[in-house]
A and B are shown apart, each in its own frame.
Chain A
Amino acid sequence: MKIIAIAKNTYREAVRSKLFLLLTVFSIAFILFSKIVSLLVISSSEKIILDLGLAIIEIFTILLSILISVNLFYKERDKRTIFNILSKPISREQFILGKFLGLSLTLFVSLVILGVIFFLYALIVTGNLHPYIFPQLLLFFVEGEILVSFSLLFTSVSTPILSSIFSLGIFVVGNFSSNFLLYYEAKVKGVVKLLVNIVYYVLPNFSILNYKNQLVYTKGIALSNFLNATVYGIDYALLILVLSMIAFKNREIL
Chain B
Amino acid sequence: MKEKILEIINLRKSYPSGTLLLKNTEVLKGININVYKGEIYSLLGHNGAGKTTTFKIITGISKQDSGMVLFKGKALSLKDKSRIGFLPERPYFYEYLTGKEFLEFSANLFNIKKSKAQIEALLSLVDLKDAVDIQLKRYSKGMLQRIGIAHSIINDPEFIILDEPLSGLDPIGRKKLRDLILSLKEEGRTIIYSSHILQDAEMISDRIGIIVKGRTIMEGSLEELVSGEIKEVDVGFYGVNKIPEGIEYIKAEKKSNVFYITVRDTIEANKLISKIIEAGGYIKFVNPVRKTLEELFWEIKDENNSNS
Contacts and interface: CB of A to CB of B under 8 A. Distances in A.
Interface of A: 1-2, 4-6, 8-9, 12-13, 16, 79-91, 252-254
B48 to A, nearest CB: 13
A254 B63 CA distance: 11
Nearest to B59: A87
A81 B15 CA distance: 21
A89 B79 contact: yes
A85 B109 contact: yes
Contacts of B92: 79-81
Given A9-B105, A13-B94, A89-B79, 8 more contacts: A4-B108, A80-B88, A81-B94, A83-B59, A84-B109, A88-B110, A89-B82, A252-B62
A41 B94 CA distance: 47
Given A2-B111, A5-B108, A5-B109, A89 B90 contact: no
Contact of B78 (A16, A89, A254): A89
Shortest 9 CB-CB distances between A and B: which pairs?
A5-B108, A87-B59, A87-B86, A83-B88, A79-B92, A89-B81, A88-B109, A89-B82, A16-B96
B151 interface: yes
Given A2-B111, A12-B96, A80-B92, A86 B106 contact: no
B93 A84 contact: yes
Task: Tell me which of A16, A82, A86, A88 has the highest count of chain B C-beta atoms within 10 A of its own C-beta.
Answer: A88
B78 A91 contact: yes
20 contacts: A4-B108, A5-B108, A8-B105, A9-B94, A79-B92, A83-B56, A83-B88, A84-B86, A84-B88, A84-B93, A84-B106, A86-B59, A86-B61, A87-B60, A87-B84, A87-B88, A88-B109, A89-B78, A89-B82, A90-B109
Nearest to A16: B96
A2 B108 contact: yes
Interface string B82-123: 101010101111101100000001101111000000000000
A253 B96 contact: no
B164 to A, nearest CB: 12
A254 B82 contact: no
A89 B110 contact: yes
Given A2-B111, A9-B105, A80-B88, A88 B96 contact: no
A141 to B, nearest CB: 25
A88 B80 CA distance: 9
